[in-house]
Amino acid sequence: MTVGNDAGMSARLKGRRRAVNALLVDVEQWADEYDGVKALALVGSYARGAERMASDLDLMILADDANALANEDWFVRLRPDARFIRAANWGPVRERRFRLRSGLLVELNFASESWADVPLDAGTRRVLEDGHRILYDTGPLRVAASAVGIDR
């Protein structure tokens, strides 16, 4: 999955985009290899193609056991330079935020498959409508997005 078009973009932002694309490839591969992951989506400004240097990279991960994945071990193995910043809980979503040596903030959001149950709750709808790109899916995100006409 490649993020956006580089035309008219600063060299710094082009470099950031290359780093994001490499990270997305690694996270997609991890999701494909980890049996418990049901779906992975890029959400927010990178999904919309509206990122700036200050933008964070937001990923939504649906899993059989979201709480078990909401630790830093697997992500730090993918990006050893990642520094854990904070943990927060937003209803059914477990957020884990990291900063990479490059300065990129990566927000990992974990929830069970029920996060994408139709009809969507207001929070899920808002996240998907704000921009999303499905990177890996065994079914729940495509059904949710297409059921409400926001399949992007």
Determine the number of helices (DSSP H) and then strands (DSSP E) in the chain.
6, 6
* In the chain, where the domains are located: 11-147
Average pLDDT taken over every residue of the chain? 88
Q: What is the pLDDT of residues 31-66, one digit of tens each?
A: 999 888 999 999 999 999 999 989 999 999 999 988
Q: Among the CATH numbers 3.30.70.270, 3.30.460.10, 3.90.1150.10, 3.20.20.140, which is that of 11-147?
A: 3.30.460.10
Q: How far apart are CA 62 and CA 18, in angstroms?
A: 25
Nearest to 41 by CA among 59, 66, 27, 14: 59
Give yes or no for residue 138 having a pLDDT over 60: yes
Q: How far apart are CA 132 and CA 87, in angstroms?
A: 22
pLDDT band at 145 (very low <50, low <70, confident <90, very high): confident
Give yes or no for residue 1 having a pLDDT over 60: no
Q: CB of 22 within 8 A of CB of 113?
A: no
Q: Which amino acid is at 123?
A: G
Mean pLDDT over 61-75 rounds to 86
Name residues whose C-beta falls within 8 Å of residue 1's C-beta, 6 or more positions apart in sequence.
Answer: 21, 24, 25, 28, 42, 133, 135
Residues of the chain with pLDDT > 90, as a percent, come to 66
Helix ranges (H only) for 34-96 are: 45-48, 66-69, 73-78
Mean pLDDT over 67-85 rounds to 89
pLDDT band at 5 (very low <50, low <70, confident <90, very high): low
Q: Count of alpha carbons within 13 Å of 134, Cβ hemisphere only?
A: 19
Q: Count of alpha carbons within 13 Å of 72, Cβ hemisphere only?
A: 16
Mean pLDDT over 98-109 rounds to 95
Give yes or no for residue 3 having a pLDDT over 70: no
Strands 132-137 and 37-43: antiparallel
Strands 105-111 and 93-99: antiparallel
Q: What is the pLDDT of residues 78-97, one digit of tens each?
A: 999 999 999 999 999 999 99
Q: How many C-beta atoms lie closer than 10 Å to residue 36's C-beta?
A: 13
